[in-house]
Amino acid sequence: MSIFSRLSHIDMLSGSIWDKLVLFSVPLALTNVLQQLFNTADVAVLGHYLGSEAMGAVGSLTAVISLFVALFLGLALGANVVIAKHFGRKSPEQIVRASQTAMFLALLLGLTCLALCYPLADDLLRLLSVPLDLLPLSKVYLQYYLLGLPALAIYNFAAAMLRSQGDTTSPFISLAVASLLNLVLNLLFTLCWHWGVAGVACATSLANGVSALILLLILARRKVFGLSLFLRKLDLRECSEMLRIGLPAAIQGMVFCFSNVLVQSAINSLGAFAIAGSAAAFTIEINMYCLMSAFAQAATTFVSQNYGARNLARCLRVTRVTLALTLPLNLLMSLAIVLAAPSLLRFFSHDPRVLEMAMLRIYLIVLPNVVTVFIDVLSGALRGYGCSLQPAIATLLAICGIRVVWVFTVFKIWPDFAVLVVSYPLSWLVTAIFIAFVYARYRRVVLLHGHRLHFARP
């Protein structure tokens, strides 16, 4: 079997677990990194060739773009869990029904967001408090970006469907192709055709369309999904199950975006050095989150398939193995980032005040980040069982609640950068305790006692 075939068809139901988790997670982590860089390419090209005004116009839309991404990723997670369970049950008819439903839902979701948001572009910009001098350019970018929402929704759902089969390599390859195309089109539209902000937005939407098309072609060639150019009707039972699992995750991601906007506004109030230092540190630390998030998504898919196969013992073992892999990996990455940060940060700035702020954030966020392993992995495992609402509520109440209250109370009394950043590890610690309690209770009450399963040995 070729390396590509092995990466594209991971057997989650038998054999060793740790090596398959790694094979599944690495391409997914690289995909997460590329998704972070997608918008960065737009901002970089605009900043280099069109000036700070154009760069600011696009940068001001980061929050609303993050909301769309969080919505599509969260709902696609529901499709991933449902289809993975059908793969575990080895039920080809249900796989086809769920796949058709997922693609129908993706198209409906993308078109609905486009139809609702495009006429309200001015209102969205006012809600974001975009400066008046940036409004015309921001509106142009937003409207062209919105045209690519159906393709963005289809890509995320198609990637989730492929992950449910054990394939994380194809989504990575398609996004790599799209990222390269996006960069080439950015330069072509801005330097050769002089389309300005509109050209950069068009490049992004076209690249999203190409990545979605590549995955659709891959899905169409895999007969197990039963996809064709003509979608069948929406299966309401499959759709409701996808929404039951995916909607809490989507809402959680969107509320996260709102809380991060609030924290960012507090950072902005501390001045240019705090803003620059925080942004530079975030650019480094986000790569660790991309890797940890990939292992959490792997736990979701592995648990889903084995839960569908009625192999609860292997589900529990998947969670233990994922924790055993990610805890030391997180500690090693944290140490590596702390040691390399002084050199890496100099790529962004040589100002000692900016570097001081950046290193302060690195120490206060990266070192305690190991706590998030329990949040991500246990939440991922719970979603694999179909339990999505409880971890979402626990996370929202703890992380978002603590950060919002902290900004309006402690930070208001003591407006200091370190005081603000401490809200991150504090909220992680409380959330980890909540999630561990939810997982322990669900495992004891629902899985081990309340659910009638045949326990197979791993």
Between residues 354 and 92, which one has the greater pLDDT?
92
356 vs 274: CA distance, rounded Å: 9
Token pair listed for 252: 């959680």
pLDDT per position as a tens digit, 138-155: 888 888 989 999 999 999
Question: For position 161, what pLDDT does the model report?
Answer: 94
Taking residues 52-64, report their average pLDDT: 68
Residue 436 amino acid letter:
A
- Cα–Cα nearest to 105, from 70, 69, 77: 77
Spell out the SS3 assignment of 213-241.
Answer: HHHHHHHHHCHHHCCCCCCCCCCHHHHHH
pLDDT per position as a tens digit, 376-399: 999 999 999 888 888 888 888 888
pLDDT per position as a tens digit, 158-183: 999 999 988 888 999 998 999 889 88
Taking residues 92-117, report their average pLDDT: 92
pLDDT per position as a tens digit, 251-269: 878 777 777 777 777 877 7
- pLDDT tier for residue 433 given thresholds of 50, 70 and 90: very high
pLDDT at 93 > cutoff 80? yes
pLDDT at 67 > cutoff 70? yes
Residue 138 amino acid letter:
S
pLDDT per position as a tens digit, 314-324: 999 999 999 99
Question: For position 98, what pLDDT does the model report?
Answer: 92
Token pair listed for 14: 């038998």
Token pair listed for 26: 């690495």
Least confident range of 40-44, 163-167, 323-327: 40-44
Q: What Rg do the C-alpha atoms of the chain give, in angstroms?
A: 22
Least confident range of 99-108, 332-341, 397-406: 397-406
- Cα–Cα nearest to 226, from 362, 98, 115, 364: 98
197 exposed, middle or buried (CB, 10 Å; 0-12, 13-18, 19+)? buried
Spell out the SS3 assignment of 73-130.
Answer: HHHHHHHHHHHHHHHHHCCHHHHHHHHHHHHHHHHHHHHHHHHHHHHHHHHHHHHCCC
Residue 33 amino acid letter:
V
Between residues 328 and 456, which one has the greater pLDDT?
328
Output the CA angle 396-61-270, nearest 5 degrees: 70
198 exposed, middle or buried (CB, 10 Å; 0-12, 13-18, 19+)? middle
271 vs 310: CA distance, rounded Å: 55
Question: For position 355, what pLDDT does the model report?
Answer: 84
48 vs 351: CA distance, rounded Å: 21
| Average pLDDT over the chain, rounded to an integer | 84
Furthest CA-CA distance within the chain: 66
**Residue 364 CB contacts under 8 Å (≥ 6 apart), including other chains:** 418, 421, 422, 424, 425
Report the predicted TM-score, pTM, of the whole model to 2 decimal places: 0.84
Token pair listed for 430: 């409380």
Question: For position 188, what pLDDT does the model report?
Answer: 87
24 vs 293: CA distance, rounded Å: 12
Q: Within 10 Å of residue 360's Cβ, how many Cβ atoms? A: 17
Which contiguous run of DSSP H or E holds residue 392? helix 389-395
84 vs 303: CA distance, rounded Å: 9
Question: For position 291, what pLDDT does the model report?
Answer: 83
User: Is residue 348 helix, strand or coil?
Assistant: coil
Question: For position 458, what pLDDT does the model report?
Answer: 37
- Cα–Cα nearest to 245, from 432, 35, 67, 73: 73
431 exposed, middle or buried (CB, 10 Å; 0-12, 13-18, 19+)? buried
Token pair listed for 416: 């200091």
Taking residues 413-436, report their average pLDDT: 91
